[in-house]
Chain A
Amino acid sequence: MSNPLGEIEHAFRDVSGVDQMRRYVEMALAEKTQPSEIITSMRKGLSAAGTKYEQGEYFLSELVMSGIMARELSEMLKPYLRRDETQSLARIVIGTVKGDLHDIGKNLVSTMLSSAGFDVQDLGVDVPPEKFVEIVKREKPRVVAMSCLLTVAMDAMKNVMDRLKESGFRSEVKVLVGGRPITSDFAEQIGADGYGVDAIEAASVAKGVLTR
């Protein structure tokens, strides 16, 4: 066994579980492999697993497990990362909007964004519009991501957009929306910058809006 990086990628692609992934990461670290290379392997494997989910070959539990593995790997690498290697792509604030207590989708998106290299600040569920605005003012994230499962909560997304405009901060952030009842038409209607149909797409959409 002399290709721990390849094995790490395969462990993520095949969603082999935490124990197997840990073994390969320990091997890679013992061989003095750069943490950044390990992260690259993880992201390649995660991306392959995400594709399998999008194509219907994998199911939600596999997507969740790949997120759990990614979090474990990040924890393992923390002591080895130099300051410059811990720098994120951008800060994203995420939350389930006011009127909705559901968090499975939001948590998945949060995990996928973190794995993709974003610094994610999770505001939780039932987040009022003023809280989103307050965080934008104070923390200056590059992106705000909103989620909901209930149709009743869709109006709350529009309220956040309105509050951001009223406060003069709309041009400071990109806004992403997603969730069971959300469509690209709705995202366009309320003036969001991006819409992700699922957690995998959300991460690529987030990268996309930052380059616009």
Chain B
Amino acid sequence: MTTLDHTEPDMVPITEMAIEPVHLERITQTKLVGESSLQTQVSADRRAETNAIAATVLAYQKLGFELLPCELSAPDWWKPRKNPDGTMIDEWGRILSHDTKCRTWVPTGSIFTSSEDFERFPLADPDAPGRMFAIEEMRRRIGDEMALGGFIRDSFACAWEMFKINDFVRWLYEKPSFLQRVIENVTDFNVEIIKQIADAKADFILSGGDYAEKKGPLVPPKFFKDVVFPNLRRQVEVAHRAGLKFIKHSDGNLNPILDDLAKIVDGLHSLDPSAGMDIGDVKRRYGDRLVLIGNVSVDNLCRKTEKEIIEETKGCLRKAAPGGGYILSSSNSWYTDAKLENCLAMVDAGRKYGRYPIHD
């Protein structure tokens, strides 16, 4: 929390947005059961969820992480709609396919083929009981040992994923007020959820979902300025009123919208080096107000050697840690294809070279 408050701690804190099942099992020597997704809720099986929570908490404790992000739970009554082709439909109308290698569900389609479909679709109820199951359970297990984060889905990203990309883009041209309303609907949901996350005694919000791809923002910066950011600001203000810090995650090249984004949120996660995000440059431009999290390349965690990862980690620490405001992390999550030895080398390097004072 010292780092999130922009004060220099004694060590650079370390965390991961998520660790995929295969690594959780190796780190904890336990077997995970049940369904999982890094992007949405896929099960309300509390037994399986408790098993996953226990493994996640144990892994983060073993790794000595200082922050623990936690997904929302599905409502108590919720059951996924399974399709005959093996896909399932989540609460937002996204069609999910099972990635058998990673053992997680990922959005690959949408049930909406027209804006009228959406009008008929019942919106998710933020007050449905059970959504704070995992966050409350994690807080109970970790006490004050780690900063606890509640994971929400960014309202723009949620809308982007709810519709097929061609439909979203076409409506951006032909029905912009419809898209604006969808984003506002998701924001309304998130605002209520943020209040519940605060009541569950979390410390920060981590807002997932991408704003950008490799070359730049997914939609023109004007749409961010006019529609996305006012909705983001609403969520951040609610979080701040409740005493929560607000971290925005996004992969991709955010540079064209970073001036505005840096004025809204407290922290930025990912700093995707494959999209040209230069953490040193971001630190110089926004380091006085934005906590930076990430930048160790997920691609390199898969392909490079431990020695190379140590050098990369040292580079991130050197560029982003001086003066505080940096949390060491990969540029997304520990994916199945990452070499666990590399991930652990990143953590070890963080412990070895992340002790303050750090100079660039």
Name A residues whose Cβ lies closer than 8 Å to a Cβ of B: 17-19, 53-54, 56, 58-62, 64-65, 67-68, 99, 101-104, 107, 125, 150-152, 180-181, 198
Is B277 in the interface zone, CB < 8 Å from A?
Answer: no
Contact B173 A17 (CB under 8 A): yes
Bound complex: CA of A180 vs CA of B332, how far in Å? 14
For B170, list chain A residues within 8 Å (CB).
18, 65, 68
Contact A180 B173 (CB under 8 A): no
Q: If A18-B170, A68-B169 touch, does A151 touch B216 (CB 8 Å cutoff)?
A: no
Contact of A125 among B108, B298, B335 (CB under 8 A): B108
Number of interface residues of B (CB under 8 A): 33
Contact of B165 among A56, A107, A152 (CB under 8 A): A107
Q: If A151-B337, A181-B274 touch, does A61 touch B169 (CB 8 Å cutoff)?
A: yes
Is B123 in the interface zone, CB < 8 Å from A?
Answer: no
Contact B97 A60 (CB under 8 A): no
Q: Kindly name the residue among B108, B165, B298 whose own CB sees the greatest number of chain A CB atoms within 10 A.
A: B165
Contact B218 A103 (CB under 8 A): no
For B337, list chain A residues within 8 Å (CB).
150-152
Closest chain A CB from B214 CB (angstroms): 6
Contact B213 A60 (CB under 8 A): yes
Is B84 in the interface zone, CB < 8 Å from A?
Answer: no
Which residues of chain B from 88 to 112 have any CB-CB distance to chain A below 8 Å in the complex?
Answer: 97, 99, 101-102, 106, 108
Q: If A56-B256, A101-B97 touch, does A61 touch B215 (CB 8 Å cutoff)?
A: no
Kindly list 5 other residue pairs between chains A and B, CB separation below 8 angstroms, not including A18-B174, A56-B256, A68-B170. A53-B215, A60-B216, A60-B219, A151-B299, A151-B302
Contact B101 A99 (CB under 8 A): yes
Contact A152 B101 (CB under 8 A): yes
For A152, list chain B residues within 8 Å (CB).
101-102, 302, 335-337
Contact B174 A17 (CB under 8 A): yes
A-B contact pairs, 30 of them (CB 8 A): A18-B170, A18-B174, A53-B215, A56-B215, A56-B256, A58-B220, A59-B218, A60-B213, A60-B215, A61-B169, A61-B218, A61-B220, A64-B165, A68-B169, A68-B170, A101-B97, A101-B99, A102-B106, A107-B165, A150-B337, A151-B298, A151-B299, A151-B302, A151-B335, A152-B102, A152-B302, A180-B214, A180-B274, A181-B299, A198-B214
